[in-house]
Amino acid sequence: MAIRKSIKSIPVLMFCLLGAIPPLFGGISVKGKIELGFHYSSWSIRLIEGLLETALNDALKSQMLNLARGEYPGLIENSAAMSSTIDSSGSNFGFEIRWYPAGDKGSFSLGLSLEKTSMAVMMTEAKADITLDVPEDGTLKPATFSGQGNGEFRLEPWSFHVNFRWEFKPEWIVHPYLALGVGYGSGRYLDQGTLNYNVQGDFRILGGGTEYFKESGTKNLKAVKDKLGDDADSEGKVLKVPFWFVPFFQISLGAKGKIADNLFVLGEAAFWDGFILRGAIAYRF
């Protein structure tokens, strides 16, 4: 039902946006052209996975030490070996309607699209080995903390997008282009995002006991957000959520080729809340 409503809204959005363009480009010919297209993309964050692994190692170490210090105030860290591996995968497909105000020879166009994006970020393996000194009975006793875990975050929103494209040398059979755009996905898709996790480990104090822990489960982001909100309330704080919807930002570089009268193929690389490689086909009326 939600998808049907989204599709029915496209002509209204197109009318409103296209109606606003002519006053801004008063000198443009009225002989505009409409182009309909379909595209499919692969999605990942591979170009920044290394940076995320470093940030994750630091965050895990800090969190583990904070948990341990909650039980043993004054705990001293001696050494820490942290490692994690992040992977990502996903896809995107969409239907687009595009308007060329200046017609066949125009380089500028405005596009509206309905998109389905599937994004998954996996922590395939995380390990931690930390040696500590724990204050007990007026002395410092050696202790170790060892743990491992894995998890996956998945988000699959439908979204509306608007983008502006500039094609260079459109008279060429194959020519390059640049596109900039933004998109909006309903907050309910954000709430429906899922987090799967599995963690286990043990905390040992020399001459003392061993505390073993294990936890696994699946939560949606709404449950996580509600839990963080409750924790913030209990501490007299206010939980600040950066976005109440799924925002998209697009920067694309690509090439467009004419394969028949009014029929085109496109290929591009883009930033799309991650990185995508896209192939498309379009027909111009």
Which pLDDT value is given to residue 23? 46
Cβ pair 217, 199 in contact under 8 A: no
Which pLDDT value is given to residue 124? 85
Bigger pLDDT: 231 vs 256: 256
Cβ pair 218, 194 in contact under 8 A: yes
| Average pLDDT along the chain | 82
State the CB neighbour count (10 A cutoff) for residue 198: 14
* pLDDT exceeds 80 at position 72: no
The domains of the chain, with CATH numbers, are 2-284 (2.40.160.20)
Of all residues in the chain, the percent with pLDDT exceeding 70 is 82
Which pLDDT value is given to residue 95? 98
**pTM of the full structure:** 0.76
Q: For residue 64, what is the DSSP state? A: H
User: pLDDT, tens digit, for every residue of 197-223?
Assistant: 888 888 887 777 788 878 888 888 887
Which pLDDT value is given to residue 242? 62
